Amino acid sequence: MAPSDMAPSDMAPSDMAPGDMTPATARAATNGDAETVLEVQDLKKFFPVKRGLLSSTVGQVYAVDGVSFTIRRGETLGLVGESGCGKTTIGKLVMRLLEPTAGVVKILGTDITAVSGRGLRPYRREMQMVFQDPYSSLNPRMSAGAIVREPLKNYGLDGGSIGGEKQAEALFARVGLKREHMAKYPHEFSGGQRQRLGIARALALNPSLIVADEPVSALDVSVQAQVINLLMDLQVEYRLAFLFISHDLAVVEHISHRVAVMYLGKIVELTDKRTLFTTPLHPYTEALLAAVPVPDPEISRQRLILEGDVPSPINPPSGCRFHTRCPYAVERCRHEEPPLIEVQPGHAVACHLREVGAPPIKLEKRASATA
């Protein structure tokens, strides 16, 4: 992957400022597959900790702290990390379901960070979400057909009752559901069918970006494969950009083009999936990959055992946030926070022990590793 893939590439017509562009204009003004659909710059979200009768703020939960990345049209960025590292919060910030504390979110080159209320309406067409629990994200009082037609109706795109029904029927067919399913209610579907219904709803407005938050974690393994393959087929057909949030590294490896690894509110490594899974540069990524079971009893490998628990996001460690569990930590790691920098073409990592341009090396562990 070229180094330019790590940087934004949004272009606006010379006679129009990016802030004045509508999503439709921005989509027309950009050039094919090189178009950057989502750009996130130094995004932060802190939740206040309140105590006492007066609910005084006594601290902050640093849920997301200085995250930056881009996603191009037709690309999937996988976002992985332990529970509580801030993955879902990033998805909600991108969708503007949460207000960011600081930073910039751009959709098709337009900064929507300060946009609110009705001003967000045209941009919500360009970004849709597939939720982790398909049942809780569907209205139990609405039929499946009405659920899929609702976005079309909200934006005046249903063409009346007959036109909306035909559009919904086409969407049902595309995600592998039958026409007779349109009259059923969410409780009458299986888990996999509900997730297909959620995907059909997300596709209704022909978005540029879909944020998929653990979309298959609640499904059986066989159904997971069907849904993942469906998402990949839809991406090719509609040239969708995906922000795919998951803790399942096998699923992320299968669907993603690039992968960002998060730890305690920060991205610690970002590169293409092949490089990440073959030559990880950050010790935390190394530990994550070592923890994945190998489906072959004849194969044994060395595992990196991390000591201690994940620190509290209310009081994160000074310096590198991973140094309290890192088997390679040196004194510098305890006092100086490493920036996320590109140390090899297309490979960014936040680690003091990786110098710019240095080839991948096996670091000498300062803690024991067991097989």
In a domain, 178, yes or no: no
- Are residues 148 and 204 in contact, defined by beta-carbon separation less than 8 angstroms? yes
Is the pLDDT at 146 greater than 50? The verdict is yes
Q: Which amino acid, one-letter code, is at 81? A: G
User: What is the rounded distance in angstroms from the CA atom of residue 234 to the CA atom of residue 237?
Assistant: 5
- CA torsion 355→40→310→55, rounded to 10°? 140
Q: Is residue 42 part of a domain?
A: yes
Nearby residues of 71 by Cβ (< 8 Å), 6 or more positions away: 36, 37, 38, 77, 209, 241, 242, 243
Q: Which of 301, 300, 296, 297 is nearest to 286 (CA)?
A: 301
For residue 13, pLDDT over 80 is answered with no
The predicted structure's pLDDT at residue 366: 45
Measured CA to CA, the distance from residue 249 to residue 18 in angstroms comes to 36
Q: What is the pLDDT of residues 165-208, one digit of tens each?
A: 899 999 999 999 999 999 999 999 998 999 999 999 999 999 99
When mean pLDDT is compared across 51-65, 139-153, 192-206, the lowest value belongs to 51-65
Residue burial 337-368, b: 16+ Cβ < 10 Å; e: rest: bbebebbbebbbbbbbbbeeeeeeeeeeeeee
| CA atoms of 298 and 24, how far apart (whole Å) | 55
Residue 192 within a domain: no
The predicted structure's pLDDT at residue 298: 72
Mean pLDDT of 264-275: 96
Question: Buried (b) or exposed (e) across 101-133, using 16+ Cβ within 10 A?
Answer: bebebbbbbbebbebeeeeeebbbbbbbbbbbb
**Does a structural domain hold residue 139?**
no
The pLDDT of 69-76, averaged and rounded, is 96
Number of structural domains the chain divides into: 1
Pairing relationship of beta strands 347-349 and 266-272 according to DSSP bridges: antiparallel
Considering the domain boundaries, does residue 358 fall inside one? no
The confidence band for 24, taking pLDDT boundaries of 50, 70 and 90, is low
Q: Is the pLDDT of residue 9 over 60?
A: no
Q: Any idea what the CATH number is for the domain that residue 19 is in? A: 3.40.50.300
On whether residue 313 sits in a domain, the answer given is yes
Residue 8's pLDDT is: 38
Residue 186 falls within a domain, yes or no?
Answer: no
Q: Is residue 31 part of a domain?
A: yes
Radius of gyration of the chain (CA): 22
Which residues are CB-neighbours of 72 under 8 A, at least 6 positions away? Answer: 5, 9, 33, 34, 35, 36, 37, 241
Q: In angstroms, what CA-CA distances link 145 with 127, 164, 226?
A: 21, 9, 22
Domain extent, residue 283, equals 3-126+207-349
Which pLDDT band, with edges at 50, 70 and 90, does 159 fall under?
confident
- Residue range 13-35: mean pLDDT, rounded: 49
